[in-house]
Chains A and B, each alone.
Chain A
């Protein structure tokens, strides 16, 4: 089953430039898919098109088998949740509890159910202790966790993260990555993460690399990172283990393609002449 199917999607903010230029891709249900590419490559625009926040110029978008059009917009919106980059731009409530409740109130969820839903989702992002705190007293990472809880409360099938960790400090990044991984492991949610974090990409099920509004590469991390020529062309960063492999190759040591340092060292050990 495909959670997302996009075919020949085109979009432009104005007449001068086509931001999304005839792209087609699909995302497996329940997968953890990453989208990479430079700023301006069209990644965030794709996310907004999927959520129906922008209107496509042409092409087709299907979410959970349902066509994204005006008739289905409400159904599609309830299927999809987005967490954006800036933790300060998406905190609406005066407390953590109010913030998580915001979406529920909009959907007229009865008060007696609301508390349970809030507690359950605050627990998933480990913010139960902070339910009555004001946003000003929270770190960036904590605010993003609240944003995730607010989105989870709406029971989406697809969760999109639009550079959700890029404005956070190392500790905050780590917290969010762990929460996302855990949510993915414990649920059947499809995760689509727009990211610059090369380790997150290496650990995902599938990668879509965008460049100039087009899809430059798509496949498993292994497939994408194996195409050195193409990677250079679109100036995409690669995992450190692959840089090391390249340097070893220039010294006459040929090893397989490894996306992690651990994998590379494990292979090197077999040839260690000190042993």
Chain B
């Protein structure tokens, strides 16, 4: 089990007028080698939760086990640097954090910081940049010259260059256009399938959860509301509706068809099978 939370809670600004309890007694195990979606309303505690994964935030109470390391509340965390090399965290709008003169320098910064030689760091940076699909002619450009989508890719390459085992992404497609979103999600899917990375994605987009993720964790008011497989989560729309989440279009379509008297099996979760089921129940016409 690569990631395990045991009775973890977190409070911001303890002892000040701004004290705010963000996480309550979290127990959670994230499956290795899968893509897990972390969903919930803004302010539910999703980002607080994922920032514990590379010890950017430390638990107020409880224990977190990540790979072979343990972070315990009240104890000074050990081997922080190696943990941060293993768990790559990509923040919301990571393009705001690009800072070097050139794209290649920016991406090579991480590996260099982790002790790689200049040559090795550049090699890793080039590999990461090719993974995210940035062409070689962008390498010597200033990050500021890139388009919004390219900047996002460069920032993600900066994390990939450190070759983390676990990749944590906080709303990686926010503000991207539909094509940019698809290529970004395909990249994470590829990193998961072909390189065996465990991926956690904080997202509001149920179409992404439905299409690309294996498991879903729902965070609500600082607690884990549900943790289940994507298939189970979208078996029908009742869970989504209960939590005030707009279900994916296919699930909404199933609801409408069922209301209209069609018999649609809960297991049907792709367009072709849905069309097949409907086609069998309509009379010849036209």
Question: Per-position contact with B for A144-184: 1 when CB-CB < 8 Å, else 0?
Answer: 00000000000000000000001101111000000000000
- B6 to chain A: closest CB distance in Å? 30
Residue of A nearest to B252 (CB): A261
A53 within 8 A of B: no
A237 in contact with B178 (CB, 8 Å) = yes
The interface stretch among B154-162, B216-224, B230-238, B277-285 is B277-285
Q: In the assembly, what is the distance between CA of A248 and CA of B260, in Å?
A: 17
Residue of A nearest to B248 (CB): A240
Query: Contacts A166-B175, A167-B175 hold; do A268 and B250 have CB atoms under 8 A apart?
Result: no
Query: Contacts A253-B282, A261-B256 hold; do A171 and B41 have CB atoms under 8 A apart?
Result: yes
What residues of chain A lie closer than 8 Å to B276, measured between beta carbons?
251
A48 within 8 A of B: no
Q: In the assembly, what is the distance between CA of A173 and CA of B171, in Å?
A: 15
Interface centre among A235, A237, A265 (most CB of B within 10 A): A265
Give residues 237-261 of B contacting A (CB, 8 Å): 245-246, 249-250, 252-253, 256-257, 260-261
B286 within 8 A of A: yes
B130 within 8 A of A: no
- A86 to chain B: closest CB distance in Å? 8
Number of B residues contacting the other chain (C-beta, 8 Å)?
Answer: 37
B282 in contact with A271 (CB, 8 Å) = yes
A269 within 8 A of B: yes
A169 in contact with B41 (CB, 8 Å) = yes
What residues of chain B lie closer than 8 Å to A250, measured between beta carbons?
272, 275
Q: In the assembly, what is the distance between CA of A29 and CA of B156, in Å?
A: 44
- B284 to chain A: closest CB distance in Å? 8
Give residues 223-251 of A contacting B (CB, 8 Å): 235, 237, 240-241, 243-244, 247-248, 250-251
A38 within 8 A of B: yes
A273 in contact with B275 (CB, 8 Å) = no
- B206 to chain A: closest CB distance in Å? 9
What residues of chain B lie closer than 8 Å to A270, measured between beta carbons?
285
B179 in contact with A247 (CB, 8 Å) = no
Query: Contacts A39-B147, A254-B286 hold; do A167 and B261 have CB atoms under 8 A apart?
Result: no
Beyond the given A169-B41, A170-B245, A244-B253, please list 16 additional residue pairs across the A-B interface where CB-CB is below 8 A: A39-B179, A169-B42, A171-B42, A172-B42, A196-B177, A240-B252, A243-B271, A248-B275, A251-B278, A252-B279, A253-B278, A268-B282, A269-B261, A270-B285, A272-B281, A275-B261
Could you list some 23 contacts between A and B, CB below 8 A?
A38-B177, A38-B179, A39-B177, A40-B147, A85-B175, A166-B175, A170-B204, A240-B249, A243-B271, A247-B272, A248-B279, A250-B272, A250-B275, A251-B275, A254-B286, A265-B260, A268-B257, A268-B282, A271-B285, A272-B281, A272-B283, A274-B261, A275-B261
Q: Which residues of B contact A (CB under 8 A)?
A: 41-42, 147-149, 174-180, 204, 245-246, 249-250, 252-253, 256-257, 260-263, 271-272, 274-276, 278-279, 281-283, 285-286
